[in-house]
């Protein structure tokens, strides 16, 4: 799986992802998704930069959320929540104008 390399920005108080991808890596690989099929496929995802996807949500207005990609290659958003980290990059091909919240925390 290939995509665009992004940074994971962690809060000063440390990781609160409860074992999510942000607790194990400082970078992620943004892969194409249904909402953003034009993401360039440049870098290979791996343990040091796990695969994530951006999803458009509409709850009181449209906003973006980043979710990990599961073992089966689909967006793993079941039971996921915000753990305090954001993803972004200075690469102009990043599809957002602002850092996007990474929902990689899971309670179980």
Q: Positive or negative CA dihedral for 37, 47, 25, 17?
A: positive
| pTM of the predicted structure, to 2 decimals | 0.92
CA distance 88 to 108: 27
Query: Quick one: pLDDT at residue 31?
Result: 97
pLDDT in tens, the chain (108 residues): 999 999 999 999 877 898 899 999 999 999 999 999 999 999 999 999 999 999 999 988 889 999 999 888 889 888 899 999 999 999 999 999 999 999 999 887
pLDDT of the residue at 76: 85
Q: What are phi and psi of 25, to 5 degrees?
A: -140, 155
pLDDT score of 73: 87
């Amino acid at each position: 799986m290939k995509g665009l390399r992004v940074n994971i920005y962690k809060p000063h108080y440390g990781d609160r992802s409860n074992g999510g991808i942000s607790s194990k890596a400082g970078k992620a690989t943004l892969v194409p998704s249904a909402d953003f099929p034009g993401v360039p496929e440049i870098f290979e995802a791996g343990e040091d930069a796990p695969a994530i996807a951006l999803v458009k949500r509409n709850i009181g207005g449209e906003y973006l959320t980043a979710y990990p990609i599961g073992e089966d290659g689909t967006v793993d958003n079941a039971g996921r929540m915000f753990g305090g980290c954001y993803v972004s990059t200075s690469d102009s091909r990043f599809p957002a104008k602002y850092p996007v919240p990474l929902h990689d925390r899971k309670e179980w």
